[in-house]
Structure 1
Amino acid sequence: MDKLHGASNFVNFAAYSWNIFRYIGDYLHLGGILTLLVTIVKNKSVAGISRTTQILYCIVFCTRYLDLFDHTQSFYLVFFKLTYIVTSIIVLVCFYQFDSTYARRHDTCNMTIILVPCTIAALLLTSDYSLLEVLWTFSEFIEGFAM
């Protein structure tokens, strides 16, 4: 690639393109979370929303973003990580605030069936046995079920 004319520009362009897609994804995700929160507050209801899914997402964000305390991260990353954690907790608080509107009979997924195998898989399949890496791997498995 070094022998190609303009190869360095191509590499920079590729890195720049990746950042654009990451930013678009982050802002779309943030927009979705804010839309969910506004809808819950406006309707004063959590009807039609799975509490199990919201708990799983909260677990995903809390286990994935424990590296928040690493001082080498940019403000952008810290902001979004904190935003995802805080907004997922706010959504869960809304479930308790609007408990009478929550349809338990429709939210039938047993979280134990998800959490136990994901914990075992994370312990067996992680690339490094540090706490942060095991929790990151765990969060990836959990996110697959949360979706």
Structure 2
Amino acid sequence: MTELTMQVERSIAAPREAVFRAWLDPEMLRRFMLPGQDMTVPRADVDAREGGRFEIVMRAGDKDMPHAGTYREISPHERIVFTWESPYSTETDSEVTLEFAPEGDGTRVTLTHVRFPDAEMRDNHKAGWSAILAALDTALA
């Protein structure tokens, strides 16, 4: 595992409180945790508290890809930090930080993901997180 880091930002046309809540709501996660074309999320389970766990199953065709993690920090409407466990990020210290800042009538979301095994994995995750933020914007419209 290396200290490779990636960051994506997006303006979301929704209030900060709604954007923050979407990340902790299993039904909303099912609508926007879509890192690729023609993907679905058949299951999302959330224990939205520090130390709580989440599990999101992403499906591409007939292949299920489970993703899970533990919430390390939940600062209402400002920040969420969680571990990221996936078939494509196999190290245990992979971590995602979401920061939510007011921006006009909407919200600026900054997503930082740290610790990847290699640059290719980092770049693949950057594309996936970018697609997820775009789907979030659509889901909250």
* TM value normalised by structure 2: 0.24
Q: Which has more radius of gyration? A: 1
* Structure with greater strand percent: 2
